[in-house]
Amino acid sequence: MQFSTLKTLDNSQLETFNTEYINDKRWEIIQENIDRDFSNGKFRFLDIGGGNGLFADKLLSNYPSSEGTVLDNSELLINKNKFNSKKALICDSVESLSLLKEKYDIIFFNWLLHHLVGSSYAESKSNILSALNSAIPLLSEHGRISIYENMYDGLILDGLPSALVYNLTSNSAIAGITKKMGANTAGVGVCFLSKNQWISTLNKTDLELIKYSDDDKWSIPVAWNVFLHIKSIRCGHFWLMKPI
């Protein structure tokens, strides 16, 4: 569970993440899984990379018997949380998960894993695996892990878009160009994976996949198909259980 040095975004980049990506359709997927596996609505959760806490607030509002913790390494985003007596805040990095003493029934990774970029593409993928393995010991006996991530599938070579996007966005020399193209992580990098790559990564852990749910495919420019070898992009949700 060794992390390589994690790159961090500056405050101007972090400000773009002061939003909430869980729309009604995505919330229904999460709610369906929670209602099935925690039918009494009582659970303790950890939202890793939970930022401004809007998702945690939604959980607490819809499940009054729950309580949770938001962990994020951005003081800027943590400070945007609204007070809730049932919500704890931890301003720290995913690298410090092993220091936590609590057990959680559900651990959420909402679009956090692709931000665990290191100094190379290989290190970035290794960081993703380290984060998942670090979370497993924090799960309660019947714990679950919920992951929302973007699926960047290749036209012919499945993992090629992932590598290309990482190398383009992590190159500080062309950060001005990639920023103008819409990359809010320009100069730092981002490590999106294809669906098959995400599944392969999960298979390297002891986690068992209970259910996968696809979101709608995005409409993408033809140039992305041509120059980034992208076949499709969409969000996907993984609901996983702790190994028995």
| pTM of model > 0.85 | yes
Instruction: Give the model's pLDDT for residue 147.
Output: 98
The pLDDT, as a whole number, for residue 184 is 83
Name residue, tokens 């993408």.
Answer: 220
Give, for 88, the enclosing helix (H) or strand (E): strand 87-91
Phi, psi of 211 (to 5 degrees): -155, 140
Per-residue pLDDT at 176: 86
Plot region of 183 (φ>0 → left; ψ -120 to 50 → alpha; else → beta)? beta
Helical (H) or strand (E) element with 27 = helix 24-37
In order along its 244 residues, the chain shows pLDDT tens digits of 688 889 988 888 988 888 999 999 999 999 999 999 999 999 999 999 999 999 999 999 999 999 999 999 999 999 999 999 999 999 999 999 999 999 999 999 999 999 999 999 999 999 999 999 999 999 999 999 999 999 999 999 999 999 999 999 999 888 788 887 777 887 889 999 999 999 999 999 999 999 999 999 999 999 889 999 999 999 999 999 988 7
User: b/e map of 93-120 (b: 16 or more CB within 10 Å)?
Assistant: bbbebeebeeebbbbbbbbbbbbbbbee
CA angle 212, 218, 224 (to 5 degrees): 120
Domains of the chain: 11-151+194-218+234-241 (3.40.50.150)
- pLDDT at residue 100, rounded to an integer: 96
Question: What pLDDT score does 2 carry?
Answer: 82
Residue pair 67/33 in contact by the 8 Å Cβ criterion: no
CA distance 58 to 46: 13
Tokens standing for 220? 């993408």
> Residue 205 has what pLDDT?
97
Q: Which two tokens stand for residue 25?
A: 């359709």
Q: Is 207 helix (H, G, I), strand (E, B) or coil?
A: coil
**Alpha-carbon gap, residue 7 to 198, rounded angstroms:** 21
